[in-house]
Every structure is written in C-alpha cells, then in structure tokens.
Amino acid sequence: MKKGRLILTVLLMTMAAALSGCTGGKTADTPDTRITIGIPQDLDDGLDPHKVSAAGTKEILFNIYEGLVKYDETGALIPAVASDYKVSEDGLTYTFTLRDGVKFHDGSNVTAEDVIYSIERCSKAEGGQDPLVPPFTNISEVNKVDDKTIEIKLVAADPDFLAYMTVAIIQASNDDPETKVIGTGPYKFVSHTPMESVELEAFNDYWGEKAHIGKVTLKIVSDPAAIVMDLKGGSLDMFCRLTDSQVSELKGSNFNIEVGTMNLAQALYLNNSVEPFNDVRVRQAICYAIDPQEIMDFVSGGEGTEIGSAAFPSFSKYYDPALNDNYNRDVEKAKELLKEAGYENGFSFSITVPSAYTPHVKTAEVISEELKEVGITADLKLVEWDSWLSDTYTNHNYEATVIGIDLNPVTARNLLQRYTSDGHGNFMEFSSEKYDEVFAKAVASTDDAEQTALYKECLQILSDEAASAYIQDLPSFVALNNKISGYKFYPIYAQDFASLYYIDEAND
C-alpha cells in the first residue's frame, strides 16, 4: 500500500510541473512593469520567516522564501529547492536531492549547509524556549550525504511530516534574517517603510518560471472605506479579501472580481466551560437556531460555503458536506432542547467580536437576530484585536465569539489537536473523552486510509456534540485591475504574485 502512495505523489509532481509549464503564451515581461497591491495591515511582526506569526505577513513571504517543497494552488506539495525526495519504507528517513542551479537573491548558490542550518534553526530550542516549529521535535538527526543530498531521520513516522518541509531555506551565513531578507523565491525584497509600503522586485535568476511583473508595491490601506475609493481612484491595482458591499461598489469600474474561499472555519465558538454552554443540549439548541445560509445571504450576498464541522471545503480530504445538514434551522427543536436543559424562557449571553473584522461583526449581528426567535438574547461586545487575542483567545474569559480559524500548515492533525482536552489553542474549552480517544488512535495509525477515517470520525463527534455552531468558509473576493490576470487562490495563506501578468494587447 505504501509503495502505491509513493507513486501517486511522484505522478502528481510531474503533472504539476507540466501544467505550470504550458500556461504559455506569456512573453518575458519587460522589467519596468509594476503593480500596486493594497494590504490591510503592515507586516508589523517582523520579517524573519521562521518567527513570523501573522497570516498577512506569511502570505507575502510566500513570494520571497521557499522550502524544500512548496504548496501549489491545489494544496499539493511540489518540489522547490529540492528537485525530488524519497521516503524510506518505515517512513522514518526522508532523503532530499538539491535542485541544481537554485540561487539566493544575492546570487550565491544554495548549499546543503544552508538547508541543514535552516532546519536546525527551527528545531533547536534555544534557552528552554519551544522550537520555532514545534513538530520539528520529531526530528532525531539531519545529515549531509553529499553536496547534493540531505537525509532527515525522524523519531516516529508522521505522514504529515512532508508539509513541515515547506519551512523557509535561508543562508547559513545570514545572522540576522530580520533585516537581511534573502530567500530563493520568485521575488526579491527591496525595502519596507513601516506603516507605509513594502517594495518587491522580480528575481531574474529564479530557478522556476520567472515572475512576469517587474516591481510589486504593497501599500497599507487601513481604512475599509478608503479601499474602494483608492481602487477606483487608480492608486491601487489589486486588493484581497473584500466584503461583498465593497464588491458591489466596484461594479462597472475597471476591476474584475475573482471569487475563492478564505480557507477558514467561521463559527460561533462557544466557551464550553461556561454556564449554560457546558450543557450539550443548549449548544445543540443554538446550532438548530442558527441558519448558516441566511448568514451568508446577509454577510456576503449569498457567496461562501456552508460547513458542518471544523474542516473547510478546500481541505477536501476531510471536508464532508453531509455534516451541514446535521443541524438545519428548526426553531421548535431548539426550544424543546432548551426546555429539556431547563432554559424554557431562554437566557442571555454576550458575543465578543474583534471590531476590525466586518464579516465576523455582521455574522454576530445576524446570529443575535436569529437567536431572538428562540428566546435567547445575545448582545455584542466589540473589542480590539489585541484585547480579543489576550482576553478571549489566550485567557479564555468570554462566553461566545465569532472568528475564523485557518490552518498553517494544512494538516488534519493541526486542525483537530485544538479540540483535544489539553490541546494547544483549545480556547473553546471543549473536552470529550470519546473525541480524545479517537484523535489519539488517528495520530498513532500509520495507514493513511484508516487515519483519514478516524479524523473524519473526530469531525463527526465535533458536529454531534456541537462543540461550536459551525457556519461557513467565508468567500474571498479579490479585486484585480482588468489589465492584469493570472490570480490563483491557494488553500493556505499565500498570495502568489509571480503568476500575475499584464494582458498585453500585443501577445493576445
């Protein structure tokens, strides 16, 4: 069975390579083409690829740094700095062969030492702190076979381990990655003016398909109202994650709207340790009271995909649309459950929402309207992102909150470990022995099919025990100047600027 898996991945890789090759028809662009892309927040948590945590920063570093392997838009892992790799029978040894001709932005060649340095930098725990990439504790040793090959030995087999190999490869000689931003990606880092803009430039000696647009300026636009005006005004060519009202504003302007998914699970996350949410019947009543479709109609004009449990659609391996019908809107059933739980005449609670995210705020507004029909009054508490991060997310003092949880790296284990009783980031305070038991079995199993089934069973439990009231994977609207094309949606937080190109009248 294992051999089969191996062939499958290899096949995939060759197909991807072929595919990327033949989008054809694009001439090598002249270096002076430029594009200005708006971003809502500054890269204010630094530029060191191994330490960065904000999704907005990772999205952009995707263009500058590459790992041994990298994701493509389908979510498959394709070879990057490594030309190919072999996994040993027992899944404990991974051997990577370095691709020849891969250069750093400063022109120097990528050496085995660089790769080893990068991996060890993430797995070493300096001074009692956790390693930069926690799962790397599973690595027993990394050794250089020859100038072209690296061997990594694991403590225990882990089918998801390959996903962690997307970690950025930096130069061994780079003592301060915070300021010396040198990677192997299609774009070079030029400059960063805090609170203002970030400049990138196409890297001409890129090993793969070169970027089409010469200069990329990332401009910070922090006021939602200004975004639409700036796009129409012509000072911005592209902006991601617009709301549907902003999209309706852009009708008739020189912008195409690309629609994809945000790859996150938006839900009304309930604090299971708090009265009355510790009672599963109350949680189920809430699931019955909420109608995801109505929320999607209000929040994003009907766009977006409903989810029944923690997995979002682009995580196709585990996403099961059937779970969506686990709780279809049924006010009578909700009231019945509430009566059973002893809350006939309802109760009231507060939904804490980070004020900066309009979609989550509007979702909460719709929820509070829907819950009224069941006799539950929910009032909103808007807080700043930082208060939400420390009060709600880290210290768990909240009753309910509306937020979207994304994944990096995109692995089932990373998605579901959050719900285990002692899981890292279990701000929902969800704990069920059955769930812990099934999750442990899933992690331990080495057979892919068995593991997938077990993970799916976890998702089923989450839905049955109504850990949270799952709603949707928010639509992702991207406005793109109609002179530019080639935008690709990725399942992870990544903005691939390299694939963008100007549709020159000449080469059509």
Interface ranges with other proteins (CB under 8 A): 42, 44-46, 53-54, 127-130, 178, 193-196, 219-226, 228-230, 232-236, 243, 245-246, 248-249, 251, 294, 297-298, 301, 355-356, 361-362, 364-366, 368-369, 379-387, 389-391, 393-394, 424-425
List, in sequence order, every residue forming a beta bridge with 39; answer none if it has no partner.
Answer: 220
Least Cβ distance, residue 356 to other proteins (angstroms): 8
Q: What does the buried/exposed string (b/e) look like for 343-379 if buried means 16 or more CB atoms within 10 Å of the residue's CB?
A: beeeeebbbbbbebbebbbbbbbbbbebbeebbbebe
**Residue 295 CB, nearest approach to other proteins (Å):** 10
* Cβ closest to other proteins, residue 172 vs residue 356: 356
- Please give the Cα distance from 238 to 404 (Å, whole number): 23
Shortest distance in whole angstroms from residue 108 CB to other proteins: 26
Residue 126 CB, shortest distance to other proteins, in Å, is 10
Tell me whether residue 115 or residue 296 sits nearer to other proteins (CB atom). Answer: 296
Q: What is the dihedral of CA 488, 321, 338, 272, to 10 degrees?
A: -50
- Give me the half-sphere count of Cα atoms (radius 13 Å) on the Cβ side of residue 386: 0
Decide whether 178 or 450 has the Cβ nearer to other proteins.
Answer: 178
Q: CB within 8 A of 110, min separation 6: which ones? A: 81, 98, 102, 103, 104, 169, 184
119/231 with CB nearer other proteins: 231
Distance CA 288, CA 296 (A): 16
CB atoms under 10 Å from CB of 8, counted, come to: 10
DSSP 390: I
Q: What angle do CA 47, 487, 503 make, to 5 degrees?
A: 120
Q: Which of 280, 289, 291 is nearest to 335 (CA)?
A: 289
Task: Give CA–CA dist 178/50, Å, rounded.
Answer: 10
CA distance 305 to 137: 36
CB of 130 to other proteins, least distance (A): 6
Contact 245, 404 (CB under 8 A): no
Task: For the CB of residue 253, give the shortest distance to other proteins in the complex, in Å.
Answer: 9
Query: Under a CB-based contact definition with an 8 Å cutoff, are residues 291 and 370 in contact?
Result: yes
The distance of Cα 248 from the centroid of its chain, to the nearest Å, equals 26
- Least Å distance between CB 214 and other proteins? 18
> Smallest distance, Å, CB 485 to other proteins?
23
Q: ∠235-205-145 over CA atoms, to 5°?
A: 130
- Residue with smaller CB distance to other proteins, 112 or 168: 168
Q: Which is nearer to other proteins, 65 or 357 (CB)?
A: 357
* Structure-block tokens of residue 247: 């999209």
Q: Which residue has the tokens 């938006």?
A: 266
Sign of CA dihedral 213, 219, 224, 226: negative
Nearer to other proteins, 199 or 465 (CB): 199
Q: Which is nearer to other proteins, 29 or 297 (CB)?
A: 297
Task: Please state, in angstroms and rounded to a whole number, the distance separating the CA atoms of residues 113 and 107.
Answer: 16
**Of 107 and 128, which has the nearer Cβ to other proteins?**
128
Q: 484 is written with which tokens?
A: 């530019």
- CA separation for the pair 154, 280 (Å, rounded): 40
Cβ at position 369, least distance to other proteins in Å = 5
100 touches 219 (CB < 8 A): no
For the bound state, the minimum distance from the C-beta of residue 162 to other proteins, rounded and expressed in Å, comes to 20
Instruction: Report, in Å, the least distance between residue 384 CB and other proteins.
Output: 5
- Taking the least distance from each CB to other proteins, the nearer of 87 and 247 is 247
Task: For other proteins, give the closer residue by CB, 247 or 337.
Answer: 247
Nearer to other proteins, 379 or 504 (CB): 379
CB of 272 to other proteins, least distance (A): 19
Q: How far apart are CA 351 and CA 99, in angstroms?
A: 51
